[in-house]
Amino acid sequence: MKRTPMFAVCAACVLLLGAWQTAANLPYELSGSKQLTLPDVTEYRQWPYMGTSMVPNDKNNGKAIFPGIHTVYINPRALRMRREKGIFPDGTIILMENHHVTVREAESGFGYFTTGGMDLLAAVKDRRQFDGEGWGYYFFADRELKAGKKLADLQPAASCRSCHQVGAAEDQVFTQYYPSLKKEP
Ligand code: HEC
């Protein structure tokens, strides 16, 4: 009987271990049908902060696409790669909380104050999972989150990707709006 050389067995083990580690270390969980598991809020809120934008309805004739305060987080490894190598690697997840707001007068003055409503938007880069430049987009609406929804379907390209492809400065990410992405001094 022909024996498999030892080095081939070792090489296979290394490859398998590598694949297992990559899957285990991903900062997001995708099912076979590409559904995204709701990321853990307490965990991602400890990730690096990418920036905040505010897009209220009253500045957009009541028609802002995601009206509210946008707070954006990115997983630590992706930010490191972006700063060191200028790329968003496979295994990037960017999460944007959209906090619903109302206009009020407070002790600090007139302003936009959060109502407690929040949608969660996600962009995941994984070229093994998604075609084109490798980004998949997901959306958890406030009412879905409150109803306990834990899985989101991949959004069709026309809902999210098409706008990101056209307007974003870099690899479908609107880096032009995140001064904090610049290399730290
Ligand atoms: C009409 C254009 C447009 C559409 C459609 C759109 N986005 Fe965005 N998105 C933006 C812009 C502009 C920003 C950055 C500024 C801001 O916060 O509004 C952004 C920011 C994001 C971010 C933070 C990372 C980044 O690239 O800035 C995520 C995540 C995101 N969007 C996900 C989604 C998802 C999921 C959908 C679909 C449900 C979607 N977007 C649809 C324009 C769009």
Note whether residue 9 is domain-resident: no
φ and ψ at residue 184, rounded to 5 degrees: -70, 145
Question: Is 78 a domain residue?
Answer: yes
- Ligand 1 pocket (Cβ < 6 Å) reads 53, 55, 65, 70, 72, 94, 96, 121-123, 137-139, 155, 159-160, 163-164, 167-168, 173-174, 177
**Domain containing residue 156: CATH number:** 3.50.70.20
pLDDT above 60 for 3:
yes
Residue 20 has pLDDT above 50, yes or no: no
Q: Are 110 and 102 in contact (CB under 8 A)?
A: no
Domain-embedded: residue 92: yes
Number of domains in the chain: 1
**What are the backbone angles phi and psi of residue 10, rounded to the nearest 5°?**
-60, -45
Q: Whose CA is nearest to atom 1 of ligand 1?
A: 163
Q: Which of 120, 163, 177 to mutate to test the pocket of ligand 1 (most atoms within 8 A of CB)?
A: 163
Residue to mutate (ligand 1; options 28, 96, 118; most atoms within 8 A of CB): 96
Is residue 16 over pLDDT 70?
no
Does residue 13 lie within any of the structural domains?
no
The answer to the question of residue 5 being in a domain is: no
Residue 21 within any structural domain of the chain: no
Residue type, 22: T
Total-model pTM: 0.90
Question: What's the domain range around 34?
Answer: 28-181
Decide if 36 is inside a domain. Answer: yes
The per-residue pLDDT of the chain, averaged, comes to 91
Q: Ligand 1 centre and the CA of 4: distance in Å?
A: 52
Give domain status of residue 128, yes or no.
Answer: yes
Mean pLDDT of 112-138: 98
Chain mean position to CA 145 = 16
Q: Which atom of ligand 1 is nearest to the CA of 121?
A: 35
> How remote is the CA of residue 72 from the centroid of ligand 1, in Å?
10
Residues with Cβ < 8 Å from 13, sequence gap 6 or more?
Answer: none
Spatial distance between the Cα atoms of 122 and 133, rounded to a whole number of angstroms? 16
What average pLDDT does this structure show over 85-113? Answer: 97
The model's pLDDT over 143-153, given as tens digits with 9 standing for 90+, comes to: 999 999 999 99
